Amino acid sequence: MRINFLNLAMQYNILPCTLISSILRNGVILLEEQIPTKSNKRNNYVPTTISKVLAVLDCFSIHQPKLTAGDIGSQLGLTTSTLYRYLSAMENEGYLERDPETGQYVIGLRVVELAGIALGHLEVRRHGQIELDALAGNLKMNANLGVLYRGDTFHLCYSVQTEVDRMYTVIGRRTPAHCTAMGKVMLAYLPRDQAHQIVKSTNFIKLSKHSVGTPEELDAALDEVTQKAYAVDRGEVRESTWCVAAPVREQGGRVVASISVSSQRELVEPRIEEIAKEVRHYANKLSLRLGFFG
């Protein structure tokens, strides 16, 4: 089953806003470095409204896809008059849409368009959907492809075979990496001190009683990954759901992504080795598509 990103985004009003705003911010940084202030001092730069506009986009999330002006203003600490100027301009340009009955704003289709462009140029995602569909079809489980982004597992694409955890399968969803099978795979192949630094920045947040919660537990989990070449999430995000993930490598051998499957514990636990073998097979096929022949 192929998932159309644009249709999904339009249906759920859920978008990887952080990804888009991050891409735009990189451009803003270059822009600001080239615009001196009127004082013409080398180290002073003109404050730009672009950063504040991007901050408005960052207010939206999977858990808060609809916001009133008051919601946004309280998050950003902006005055009503200033905020409405931004909201009006963003609505006019298609970056936001406003429901006239509720007064709530949602992400506009212009952002959907930009997100689609960004995702369309990610080689791992283009090739990954093919392997995800095959993997999900063979195991009759939901399959995901994710990358490591600012300490989180960032979901790029997926293939759904069952309604189990359907609502938790969303493009752009971010989950603390140490709580997910995909995240543990990607952390395991980083220098260990770097992996610790990434997880430490989250204060070892626990999403369930089974989540990794200490540096010692993290080391044990990552050692298991490097020994077996796959990772298992044993109810670490949702207690009823287990996941199995394997690494995806690029041409030089670096782990750049991970593929996983997820289902109910009773369907995964008795078949972990069999499932892991299948997940590794399709992760290796995707690695081959990316030029890794090791």
Segment 142-179, tens digit of pLDDT: 999 999 998 899 999 999 887 655 545 678 889 999 99
Confidence (pLDDT) at 120? 66
- Could you tell me the residue ranges of all domains in the chain? 5-115, 122-289
Q: How far is CA 256 from CA 67, 188, 247, in A?
A: 34, 12, 8
pLDDT tens digits, 78-128: 888 889 999 999 999 999 999 999 999 999 999 988 887 777 667 898 899
Mean pLDDT across the chain = 83
Confidence (pLDDT) at 165? 55
Q: Are 259 and 143 in contact (CB under 8 A)?
A: yes
CA-based R_g, the chain, Å: 21
Confidence (pLDDT) at 114? 87
Tell me: pLDDT of 22 over 60. no
Q: Rounded CA gap, 172 and 13, in Å?
A: 12
Does the domain spanning 122-289 belong to CATH 3.30.420.40?
no
pLDDT tens digits, 267-285: 999 999 999 999 999 999 9
Classify domain 5-115 at the CATH topology level: Arc Repressor Mutant, subunit A (1.10.10)
pLDDT tens digits, 207-248: 999 999 999 999 999 999 999 999 999 999 999 999 999 999
pLDDT tens digits, 39-67: 344 344 434 678 888 999 999 988 899 99
Confidence (pLDDT) at 169? 65
Of 142, 147, 144, nearest in space to 166 by CA: 142
